[in-house]
Structure 1
Amino acid sequence: MKIAVVGGGPAGMYFSLLMKKHDPSHQIRIYEQNAADATYGWGVVFSDVALSFLEKADASFYAKFIANHERCNYMEVVHKGVHVQLKNNHFSRASRIDLLGTLQQECLTHGVEFEFGKRIEDIAGLGGADVIVAADGGNSAIRTQFAQYFRPTIETRRNKFAWYGTHQLFHPVSLIFRQTEHGVFIAHSYQYSKELSTFLIEVAPETWHKAGLDTMTDEESRRYCEQVFAPELGSNGLLSNRSLWFNANVVSNAKWSHGNIILLGDALRSVHFSLGSGTRMAMQDAIALQEAFSRNGSDVQAAFADFEGLRRSSSSNFQEAAAKSLDWYENIEDKMGLDPVAFAYDYMRRTGRVSHDDLRQRDPEFVSSYEALTAA
């Protein structure tokens, strides 16, 4: 088959790699609007469950991908200056640039073609492909072109975010909650290489305005946030990489395909980073779509229906969990009075997917501390 993939992110490249490995006769070309080495953001996070999917799908790529990962088997919630450890929460972290670089090299090695610096606004320029995979992100131009068929829903959430990096190394995935005179500042932080950590800052819009962040330059905003989180950052500052404030959009689509076009990754559905599952879901989509073609051969419509039947339920479940997680963060002011242990417990239960017994099995010492607190 002749396959055109619009978007050179994890979803588009991983699907292309898997398709080419399973059938080298496929002609696959990826169209990416950015340069080969361009990326936004700092690190990506995978749970052990997420990594198990990748190992099963392609053990060779998996071995190369995890070679330089940073790993930790616990996380921390920092509230009122108290660090509460939550054991048996396993996370593997990597540079987003390394992930994209490894995927690019593997794709090239197996004969996938690339065209960088090429933004596709109209599928007419794709030259008669049998299959068009729209993996062009949350602002997908292909989805926009055929919006009447896909019927997308885009919900803009209220909190503001700025995505920084730092040389301060946060070994566990760390969630830091800081009460200030203007409101609550939240940092989502984790080490993803030997030298760097991600440091994603979140604030309510009211806090953003009261602190004057709405009128600050990028440099002024960076310095202000450094002061807020000075106790955790120590002698290290924040690093900016187009670290402008933004709102999170939650994307879903009534239809996943139209004609010979299929949506994939963030173009199909976004999962908020408070669950750390966006890249995981994109790559699981890629696995499922390739497997659907393996089962259905060149019957494109059957493969699309197979893919949607396999993934729609899990997609909806993740988005429901993400919505509950977002609600928790957006109402954080109501919880700041909690004891640090009770606060961490509330955080772990925020999506409704983790029960008290689940927590007890994962970290009995933490649950015993919480039970002693509530008994007192």
Structure 2
Amino acid sequence: MRVKVACVGGGPAGLYLSILLKLQDPAYEITVHERDPEGSTYGWGVTYWRELLDKLHAHDPVSARAVAESSVRWSEGVAHVRDLATRQPGDTGHGIGRHRLLEILAARARSLGVHLRYEDGITPDTVPDADLVVAADGVHSALRTAHADHFGARLTPGRNRYLWLGTPHVFDSFTFAFVESDHGWIWCYGYAYSPERSTCVIECAPETWTGLGLDRADEAEGLATLEKLFAHVLDGRPLVGRSSGGGAAQWPTFRTLTNRTWHHGNLVLLGDAAHTTHYSIGAGTTLALEDAMALADAVRTHDGLPEALAAYERVRKAALLPAQSAARHSAQWYENLTRYIDLPPERMFALLGQRHSPLLPHVPPQLYYRLDRAAGQLESLRRLKRWLGPRLARTPLG
């Protein structure tokens, strides 16, 4: 019997799941339904780390190689605070254009025989007849909303306003810039996603947003204001918005989504339809792709669909707990920026890197910094002792 899978949503999670299921069983009849035209997408670039690339190589080396070849890399972070800057080495990060990522995954899915249907919006009344229906239709998932009481979705709004932009300025490292305006602090996160383009996310408290007039400005006026504020990190290059019209830019507050359960009959949630984590930890695409890996593995290793979906939910909910905790504390760090911003830049940057810690909000920042440094030195001594131990044992005495 042919197994039919309908994936509603042609983002990274839906496309990658279709690839993995086809690789596991070429007899699967898989259709991805995407409401938007092919090649249209929101956002600019996405970030990921080496660990994800290793997992992609383990599951499908063909698409993994294409993703790696289309990515840019950085190994430093820099923070600008007022007119001071500090730079620190870090783990190697990767950036890839969202459009390019979708292009790679769509081409790979097609090559395996997946049916891709664009401009094919699916509603709860037009759900395809399939053995497995995957709701990969985002945070506002219509398929999830149709069974709202069952899934128990909960949206928790954050405090700060943010705006996702692009720029032709290419950042040479992951860049933070904190600017003090007459109405409070406003900051950006910037990272390259191609040799020609970067993503630039702007964030500020609601009182700064209104004080600067960004709530009332049309898109062109708002971009002009932001370009002046961040000219020192943009090298005078422009910022690019999503719209070419004169309407107001959308400055949402981030909403964290959780669901009580992730499946209902033959319907299962994937990616942002199941969960969201604050953008400041840069894990959204990674977690969505890991969802796809886990769901494909569960389908492969369980004979029955109910058992497979239950196992998928159990595995992913457990795996998400650290990321959700890190994202919650990261968002709170920025919401309480004034607690840290007047530290010397290198100390502020160090605590920026520690923003996932549940202890940081409860310990005076200067004390936390000293304790963290002391703990780091002790760990360095422990590593040195472990390294020297066997060597000293082999060293002749006298």
Report the counterpart of residue 273 of structure 2 in structure 1: 267
Report the counterpart of residue 325 of structure 1 in structure 2: 330
SS in 2 for 1:119: coil
Deviation at 1:223, TM superposition (A): 0.5
Does residue 40 (structure 1) correspond to residue 42 (structure 2)? The answer is yes
Q: Write the distance in 2 (CA, Å) between the matches of 1:192 and 1:96.
A: 9
Q: Write the distance in 2 (CA, Å) between the matches of 1:359 and 1:77.
A: 23
SS in 2 for 1:40: coil
Q: Write the distance in 2 (CA, Å) between the matches of 1:115 and 1:61.
A: 20
| Cα displacement string for residues 288-326 of structure 1 (whole angstroms, at most 9, x for unaligned residues) | 1001111014x1101111111211112122111101000
> Aligned partner of 1:258: which letter?
H
Report the counterpart of residue 364 of structure 2 in structure 1: none
> Aligned partner of 2:307: which letter?
A
Does residue 104 (structure 1) correspond to residue 106 (structure 2)? The answer is yes
| Cα displacement string for residues 216-256 of structure 1 (whole angstroms, at most 9, x for unaligned residues) | 00110011000100111123111112453221111010011
> Aligned partner of 1:115: which letter?
R
Report the counterpart of residue 287 of structure 2 in structure 1: 281
Does the 8 Å CA contact 1:335/1:343 hold for their aligned counterparts?
Answer: yes
Does the 8 Å CA contact 1:45/1:92 hold for their aligned counterparts?
Answer: yes
Does the 8 Å CA contact 1:79/1:343 hold for their aligned counterparts?
Answer: no
Number of aligned residues:
361
Q: Bigger CA drift: 225-234 or 46-55? A: 46-55
Decide whether aligned partners of structure 1 residues 337 and 358 sit closer, same or farther in structure 2, where only a CA change above 3 A counts. closer
Structure with larger RCO (C-alpha < 8 A, sep 6+): 1
Q: Bigger CA drift: 167-176 or 347-356? A: 347-356
Identity of aligned residues (%): 32
Does residue 336 (structure 1) correspond to residue 330 (structure 2)? The answer is no
Q: Write the distance in 2 (CA, Å) between the matches of 1:59 and 1:174.
A: 31
Decide whether aligned partners of structure 1 residues 218 and 359 sit closer, same or farther in structure 2, where only a CA change above 3 A counts. farther
Q: Write the distance in 2 (CA, Å) between the matches of 1:44 and 1:356.
A: 30
- What is the correspondence of 1:209-358 to structure 2 with a 5 Å cutoff? 209-242=210-243, 244-297=250-303, 299-352=304-357, 356=372
Q: Write the distance in 2 (CA, Å) between the matches of 1:119 and 1:351.
A: 38
Question: Which of 8, 11, 36 matches 1:9?
Answer: 11
SS in 2 for 1:270: coil
| TM-score, normalised by the number of residues in structure 1 | 0.92
Does residue 23 (structure 1) correspond to residue 18 (structure 2)? The answer is no
SS in 1 for 2:126: helix
Q: Write the distance in 1 (CA, Å) between the matches of 2:339 and 2:314.
A: 40
| Cα displacement string for residues 98-131 of structure 1 (whole angstroms, at most 9, x for unaligned residues) | 0000011111111111221122221x42332100
Does the 8 Å CA contact 2:227/2:236 hold for their aligned counterparts?
Answer: no
SS in 2 for 1:195: coil
Runs of 4+ residues deviating >4 angstroms: 357-361
Report the counterpart of residue 63 of structure 1 in structure 2: 65
Q: Write the distance in 2 (CA, Å) between the matches of 1:5 and 1:356.
A: 46
| Cα displacement string for residues 108-161 of structure 1 (whole angstroms, at most 9, x for unaligned residues) | 111111221122221x42332100100000111111001110000011111111
> Aligned partner of 1:171: which letter?
D
Does residue 94 (structure 1) correspond to residue 96 (structure 2)? The answer is yes
> Aligned partner of 2:53: which letter?
L
Report the counterpart of residue 118 of structure 2 in structure 1: 116
Q: Write the distance in 1 (CA, Å) between the matches of 2:201 and 2:29.
A: 39
Does the 8 Å CA contact 2:261/2:313 hold for their aligned counterparts?
Answer: no
SS in 2 for 1:198: strand
Does the 8 Å CA contact 1:32/1:116 hold for their aligned counterparts?
Answer: yes
Supply the RMSD in Å over aligned alpha carbons. 1.9
Q: Write the distance in 2 (CA, Å) between the matches of 1:313 and 1:127.
A: 31
Q: Write the distance in 2 (CA, Å) between the matches of 1:246 and 1:313.
A: 29
| Cα displacement string for residues 30-85 of structure 1 (whole angstroms, at most 9, x for unaligned residues) | 11111111111110101112222212221111001111211111212222333222
Does residue 151 (structure 1) correspond to residue 160 (structure 2)? The answer is no
> Aligned partner of 2:273: which letter?
A
Q: Write the distance in 2 (CA, Å) between the matches of 1:288 and 1:356.
A: 35
Q: Write the distance in 2 (CA, Å) between the matches of 1:166 and 1:231.
A: 14
